[in-house]
Amino acid sequence: MLAQARERVRDKGWRNVELVERPAVSFRFPPGVDGILSTFALTLEPDYDQVIQRGAEALRPGRRWVVLDLKLPSNWLRYLAPALIVLVRPFAVSAAVAKRRPWESLHRQLKHVNMQELYFGVAYIAVGEA
């Protein structure tokens, strides 16, 4: 994936993209970040709270952190959760991972947090502002 991303950055001529391969918890965000986007990854990080805190500290005032990820649904689909988890197990999802709630950390670290559930509550998008 990283090789494909490098190719895309090169082909598009993007000069404001830095690709980093390392555990998220050890990444140090540069100061004055204009925005952070996490797609289907933050829930996999056991120390997501620390990652969100560091990112929130690095964001310029008024800039946003956006998270798109999976979650356990709170509606009737929660009864199907064990079967759903089996389907996504190849992507490192387990019951413990599925119970993580990064959007709560966004609420603690950022302001004006808005969360919207998607796909019958199986996914969400959350946005918070520095």
Tens-binned pLDDT, residue by residue, of the chain (130 aa) = 899 999 999 999 999 888 889 899 999 999 999 999 999 889 889 999 999 999 999 999 999 999 999 887 777 766 666 666 666 666 556 667 777 889 999 999 999 999 999 888 778 999 999 9
The answer to whether the beta carbons of residues 105 and 46 sit under 8 Å apart is no
- Which structural domains are found in the chain, ordered by start? 2-129 (3.40.50.150)
pLDDT at 92: 58
- Residues 2-17: b if buried by 16+ CB within 10 A, e if exposed: eeeeeeeeeeeeeeee
The pTM score is 0.79
Task: Quote the radius of gyration of the chain (alpha carbons, Å).
Answer: 16
Query: Would strands 59-70 and 123-129 be described as parallel, antiparallel, or unpaired?
Result: antiparallel
Tell me which residue has tokens 């990283």: 2
